[in-house]
Amino acid sequence: MNAFAAVFPGKAQSVCFFHLCQAVWKKTRETGLQTAYAEDADLALKIRCLPALALLHPDDVPDGYEAVAAELPDAAAELAAYFERQYIGANVISDRLQALAERRRNGEVAMADYLRAVAHNFTL
């Protein structure tokens, strides 16, 4: 999806929901979460929330992704990072980093906390 945006800036992008679910399931298997998914209903539900983000209003997707990613266990960090890279895109990361940098410039965040947040997914 990010390559599409780079080659065709300003053009609408869409993904078939079925194929989105298939891509998440494939990455779930590739990251070794298949057994945990089958045995842990709570984890399975959280992983299924990733493709469900496609059902949100586009303006709500970044916040929705943040909420879902925060609920995923550390074992699913690679899956979450993949989903963010492929489907949420660099704009979310850029927007979060810009907001954090603005808070730093306004003196709301100490430099050490700012650097720690940048290194740990931009959250404070």
Contact residues for 87 (Cβ-Cβ < 8 A; gap 6+) = 1, 15, 20, 53, 54
What is the predicted pLDDT for the residue at 14? 65
Q: How confident is the model over 49-64, as pLDDT tens digits?
A: 999 998 888 888 888 9
What is the predicted pLDDT for the residue at 95? 61
CA–CA separation, 71 vs 55, rounded Å?
19
Neighbours of 119 (CB within 10 A): 8
Q: How far apart are the first and last CA of the chain?
A: 28
Which of 25-39, 41-55, 104-118 is predicted with the least confidence, judged by mean pLDDT?
Answer: 104-118
Residue where the block lists tokens 């550390």: 74
Q: What predicted TM-score, i.e. pTM, was given to this entire model? A: 0.64
Q: How confident is the model at residue 122 (pLDDT cuts 50, 70, 90)?
A: very low
Chain mean pLDDT for the chain: 80
CA–CA separation, 63 vs 66, rounded Å?
5
CA–CA separation, 59 vs 16, rounded Å?
19
